[in-house]
């Protein structure tokens, strides 16, 4: 499927989900523009180094939402998806295309990262393999 078609489908899915959440729950989306609060450097750093940027900007600077059990689960296991969720809740009404790109980076980045790790683990030498072969005899002396 072409990339543009995937972006359009993702945009419509996000639009439907956010409309349902906005109309039938107490979830309120932010009304502030992304670029009034953050800049291009933050955008690139959170796309490339999500854990480091989330930690520094949340814990040290206090510029993003920080904390909670589910937040920490997302921080350790899927930081790009956490960034996409925070972007959706905060900037969907003002920057929907930025949120769509956040989801594309999140879904593509997490899946490619997990694929690369599983491929490396499959090709990695086994540390605790059973030794099949002859027995080696050795003598040990205790130093006094």
pLDDT in tens, 68-77: 777 788 888 8
Q: Is residue 44 included in any domain, yes or no? A: yes
How many folded domains does the chain comprise? 1
Predicted confidence (pLDDT) per residue in 30-50, tens digit: 778 888 888 888 888 888 888
Range of the domain at 19: 3-123
Phi (first) and psi of residue 56, to 5 degrees? -65, -45
Question: Looking at residue 94, what DSSP letter applies?
Answer: T
Residue 129 is assigned to a structural domain of this protein: no
The model carries a pTM of 0.62
57 domain-assigned = yes
């Amino acid at each position: 499927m072409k990339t543009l078609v995937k972006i359009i489908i993702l945009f419509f899915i996000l639009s439907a989900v956010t409309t349902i959440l906005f109309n039938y729950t107490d979830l309120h989306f932010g009304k502030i523009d992304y670029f009034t609060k953050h800049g291009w450097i933050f955008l690139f750093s959170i796309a490339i180094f999500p854990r480091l940027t989330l930690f520094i900007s949340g814990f040290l600077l206090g510029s993003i939402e920080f904390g909670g059990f589910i937040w920490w689960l997302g921080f350790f296991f899927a930081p790009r998806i956490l960034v996409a969720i925070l972007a959706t809740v905060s900037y969907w009404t003002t920057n929907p295309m930025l949120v769509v790109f956040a989801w594309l980076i999140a879904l593509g980045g997490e899946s490619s990262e997990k694929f690369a790790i599983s491929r490396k683990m499959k090709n990695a030498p086994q540390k605790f393999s059973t030794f099949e072969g002859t027995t080696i005899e050795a003598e040990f002396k205790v130093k006094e």
